[in-house]
Structure 1
Amino acid sequence: FRLKEYTGTGADLFLEGSTEQLADWCRDTQSKPDLLIATDLIEHVYDLKRFFSGLVSINPALTMYFTTASTPYNPYVKRKLRKIMDSCETGSALSPNYFTKRYEYIRTQFPSLNEGELNEWAHCTRGLTFGDINNVIQSDLKPVPCDPWNTCDPENGNWTERILPIQKYRDYLEPYAYDVIVSKGFYNEQRDSLIKWAVCKCLNSLIGLTGKMGLLAAPFIIISCLPQGSSCKSDNPLST
């Protein structure tokens, strides 16, 4: 919005809200978008199954592109992001941290639990919102987190740079007849020193010339979600 004010050009309309609110707006205005482009989004969405279902309900042929630094390939990026996750979970990045939030919620909602049970439930419900935590404790079925690091804010479900295998995205979109293609991202070469520019230039050359192996050095990835039979193609598609 500020960029539009400064440049005099930009989006015709700004909407704020959930996927459901977007679907309602499209229905009310009889709008049918063909393309969605998002950055710094997909890694924070709490319920991807619901998210994709809502988007496809707007247009079953919607083409979607997501850029994310939460790459499952680059070991350096994964290590850095997992340190952030650890600091959000029980470290010093947030106060109260996510574990403390879950612990206090469970202690308040289920006062009959002893200290050991409280700790056990607070640990195993990592990655759940308060509502889902309440449901699993009432069912007395302890969940097993799918990943040792991924965690979210239990108040709103916002994941901390969640890293998922690409197959997960394929599984979510398979019922809607979508193909998921992964492309390599590159480093920004606009640097304030010649040395940094040279390093980024070399890394980008390495990424571009090494095929699928370039994913190990790519700083981010592009996830293209394409309806099967679509004519849209990625610049550097990978079948991983």
Structure 2
Amino acid sequence: MKFIYNPAQLPDDFNLLQDINSAAHTLFRKLKNLDIDTLNISDYTKKYVGNHVRALERTLQNYSYVLAWSLAYMNLKECTFLDYGGGSGILSLLARLCGVRTVVYSDIYDVSCRDAKVIGESMHNQADYYVHGDIDDVITFLRGHSLLCDAIASYDVIEHIYDIEGFFTRIPDVPGVSTVVMSSGANKYHPLIRRHIMKRQREVEYTDRKKVWGHKERDCMKAYYNVRKEIISGYTGKLTEKEVEQLARATRGMMEPDINQCITAYLEIGKLPEELDHPTNTCDPYTGNWAEHLMDPYTLRDILSQKGFDTKVLPGYYGYYGSSVKRITGKILNVGIYVLGKYSMRAAPFFTIYGRRQ
């Protein structure tokens, strides 16, 4: 099956895998034929979708993997699926084409919510609901609409969530949720991925960026370290330049409200906050959007386990796309990941936190 990783750890639900593969074939054709430039959507989403379409086989292989774990052993005609942090909405489109009864899309960025709906409507495969907000907003919406959500899933979302441990603590409060599938490419155990992300983190921390076509308007383009210095200097004029710099370093990975609390504590008792253990992890001080947060997936697994979920961390696999050399290399690497056991995370291009309520 073209869009199902082979070999890979997958649920033993062959009929579902066939349905997902068939839906992915249909979505592949639809997205390839979509004239994205004619849609009334943001340049950010046009660029985002365009990047996916250029590597569409890989994208749909990733989403098919996520969906396979999300929907395994469920009756799709009675299933409600939540695409959390859905971005352009491709995962929602795939779920809809698989025959999922109710699809709920959510994203914290209002522009993405609007654009995903436009794309879905243009393809006649839109989600049933589009929810703008964070996990608390989603829970409130589901309760207000008497919706029981069987599965919640995401791909490349959790590495951007500000309070990631708080988020995982809240997942069990999603009404009806029985299955959780959270995949992320920010795999700190893969040496090349780790090196690439840390380089990028240093850049956004200390270097201003230029606005280019398709940038996300919500994102801060100034160096995060300098932004924190501005926040600290603007909050009080009682600090020396050295103190401002100390606080700016110590508050790496914090949003403005938390930075202000640290300033207050420093002024009152002279206490500096503890710096992050990780040397480069950082986030946008205004939005809390992490720059590919290099997290410990096993810590997040344990949070779900303590909340009554049977949880495990799964290694991801390489998509088969591009030249024949890349395809062969991907297949060889996938076999290695499949047989490496506990060491597989060192070669995996992404990881998945999978939980099923006990």
Instruction: Identify the TM-score tier after normalising by the shorter chain.
Output: 0.7 to 0.9
The answer as to whether partners of 1:169 and 1:180 remain within 8 angstroms in 2 is no
Q: Determine which structure has the larger helix proportion and give its number.
A: 2
Specify the alignment match of 2:257 in structure 1.
131
Of the structure 1 ranges 203-212 and 126-135, higher mean CA displacement relative to structure 2 is found in 203-212
What percent of counterpart residues are identical?
29
Quote how far apart the aligned CAs of 1:56 are. 2.0
**Shift of residue 21, structure 1, vs aligned partner:** 1.3
What is residue 334 of structure 2 aligned with on the other side? Answer: 204
Partner of 1:14: 130
Choose which of 189, 208, 213 in structure 1 pairs with 2:320. 189
Give the CA deviation at 1:165.
1.4
Write the letter of the residue equivalent to 2:265: S
User: SS at the partner of 1:180?
Assistant: strand
CA distance in 1, matches of 2:121, 2:168: 32
Structure 1: unaligned runs, 5 residues or longer: 230-240
Residues 26-70 of structure 1: CA distance to partner in whole angstroms, max 9, x if unpaired?
Answer: 121111212101111111111123323433222375421011001
- 1:77-112 Cα shifts (integer Å, max 9, x gaps): 111111111111113547411001000110111211
Matched, 1:66 2:182: yes
Instruction: Using the TM superposition, give the Cα deviation of residue 195 of structure 1 relative to its aligned residue in structure 2, in angstroms.
Output: 1.6
Equivalent residue number for residue 84 of structure 1:
200
Look up the match of 1:23.
139
**Which is further off, 148-157 or 42-51?**
42-51
Q: Which stretch shifts more, 164-173 or 20-29?
A: 164-173
Instruction: Give the structure 1 partner of residue 309 of structure 2.
Output: 178
1:219 maps to 2:345: no
Query: Which residue among 89, 107, 111 is the counterpart of 2:233?
Result: 107
TM-score normalised by L of structure 1: 0.87
> Is the 2:149–2:177 contact (alpha carbons within 8 Å) kept by the matching residues of 1?
no
Q: Does 1:117 align with 2:279?
A: no
Instruction: Give 3-state SS (helix, strand or coil) of 1:202's partner.
Output: helix
- How many pairs were matched up? 227
Q: Which residue of 2 aligns with 1:237?
A: none
Matched with 2:154 is 38
SS at match of 1:223: strand
CA distance in 2, matches of 1:91, 1:31: 45
| Whole-angstrom distance in 1 between the partners of 2:242 and 2:351 | 41
Say which SS state the counterpart of residue 132 (structure 2) adopts.
coil
One-letter amino acid of the counterpart of residue 35, structure 1: A
- Conserved? CA contact 1:44–1:158, under 8 Å: yes
* CA distance in 2 between partners of 1:175 and 1:97 (Å): 38
The question of whether the paired residues in 2 share the 8 Å contact of 1:32 and 1:59 is answered with yes
Q: Give the letter for the 2:272 counterpart.
A: K
CA distances 1:132-174 after superposition (whole Å, capped 9, x unpaired): 0111121123222131111100101011110111232134335
State the superposition RMSD in angstroms: 1.9
Distance 1:19 1:201, change over 3 A: same
Residue 149 of structure 1 aligns to which amino acid in structure 2?
T
- CA contact under 8 A between 2:150 and 2:179: conserved in structure 1? yes
1:153 aligned partner: 284
Q: Which 5+ residue runs of structure 2 have no aligned equivalent? A: 1-116, 211-220
CA distance in 2, matches of 1:180, 1:89: 34
Cα distance in 1 for partners of 2:311, 2:160 equals 19
Q: In 2, Cα distance between the equivalents of 1:11 and 1:179?
A: 29
Higher RCO, 1 or 2 (CA under 8 Å, sep at least 6)?
1
Matched with 2:296 is 165
Report the Cα distance in structure 2 between the residues aligned to 1:46 and 1:167, rounded to whole angstroms.
Answer: 18
109-118 or 54-63: bigger deviation: 54-63
Q: Greater CA deviation, 17-26 or 107-116?
A: 17-26
Under a length normalisation based on structure 2, what TM-score does the superposition of the two structures give? Answer: 0.59
2:335 and 2:205 mapped to 1: Cα distance? 37
Distance in 1 (alpha carbons) for counterparts of 2:351 and 2:153: 13
Amino acid in structure 2 at the alignment position of 1:190: Y
**In 2, distance between residues paired with 1:142 and 1:62?**
42
Once residues 169 and 327 of structure 2 are traced to their aligned partners in structure 1, the CA distance between those partners, rounded to angstroms, is 42
Q: Distance in 1 between matches of 2:240 and 2:310?
A: 48
